[in-house]
């Protein structure tokens, strides 16, 4: 499966050639099921465009596009380097990459942010990220759930976002999951 083809537009947002190459390697780590499952196993927590076949892919694309638009606004995102912005983009591409597990299970896994971050950590020898970049990226992924970081028994499963990058990724994911936002798609691509 050519997984990069699903993210041609999103990869075009990444400016640094080294981060782009690392991003392609990470995308190829995503399980095949990611590209065909809905964003929510129950249908309760995501808008219509994120339901059905390819819904998780469309949710991810929506979150990345929200990030891209905000990061492109000079008034909103001062203090973000191009590398920071690139890491936010790949962080959002990867944030739900193991939503149903490394091998697809029936339901969303509560700890999927930790699993996705660990997938990257476990493959760091295949990447050329600095330790700082790796920590920033995996931190954004494992905190993307924000206050929705507990299991059904109320046990804390993931840390809360602490820095501006982690909070930014959480914000973009949160917005992409809101039912009142209706993003139009055609063939799994956002309609301009």
In this prediction, residues 173-181 reach a mean pLDDT of 94
Q: Side-chain half-sphere of 1: how many Cα atoms within 13 Å?
A: 13
Q: Do 156 and 150 contact (CB within 8 A), yes or no?
A: yes
Statement: residue 119 has pLDDT above 80: yes
* CA distances in angstroms from 35 to 127, 137, 188, listed in the order given: 23, 22, 10
Residue 42's pLDDT is: 78
Model confidence band, residue 103 (pLDDT cutoffs 50, 70, 90): very high
Q: State in Å, rounded, how far the first CA of the chain is from the last one.
A: 27
User: Between vectors from CA 189 to CA 185 and to CA 190, what angle results, nearest 5°?
Assistant: 55
Which phi-psi region, left, alpha or beta, contains residue 62 (left: φ > 0; alpha: ψ -120 to 50)? Answer: alpha
Residue 47's pLDDT is: 87
Predicted TM-score of the model (pTM): 0.96
pLDDT digits over 123-142, tens only? 999 999 999 999 999 999 99
Residue 192's pLDDT is: 86
Residue 41's pLDDT is: 77
Helix, strand or coil for residue 171? helix
pLDDT digits over 7-59, tens only? 999 999 999 999 999 999 999 999 999 999 999 877 777 888 999 999 999 99
Statement: residue 153 has pLDDT above 90: yes
């Amino acid at each position: 499966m050519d997984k990069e083809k699903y993210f041609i537009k999103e990869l075009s947002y990444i400016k640094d050639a080294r981060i782009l190459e690392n991003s392609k390697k990470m995308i190829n780590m995503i399980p095949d099921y990611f590209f065909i499952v809905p964003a929510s196993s129950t249908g309760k927590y995501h808008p219509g465009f994120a339901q059905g076949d390819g819904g998780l892919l469309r949710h991810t694309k929506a979150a990345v596009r929200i990030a891209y638009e905000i990061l492109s606004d000079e008034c909103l995102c001062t203090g973000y380097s191009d590398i920071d912005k690139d890491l936010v983009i790949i962080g959002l591409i990867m944030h739900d990459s193991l939503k149903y597990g490394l091998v697809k299970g029936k339901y969303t896994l509560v700890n999927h942010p930790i699993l996705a971050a660990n997938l990257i950590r476990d493959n760091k020898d295949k990447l050329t990220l600095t330790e700082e970049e790796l920590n920033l990226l995996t931190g954004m992924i494992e905190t993307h759930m924000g206050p929705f970081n507990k299991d059904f028994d109320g046990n804390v499963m993931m840390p809360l976002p602490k820095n501006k990058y982690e909070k930014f990724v959480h914000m973009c994911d949160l917005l992409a999951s809101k039912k009142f936002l209706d993003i139009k798609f055609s063939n799994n691509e956002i309609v301009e």
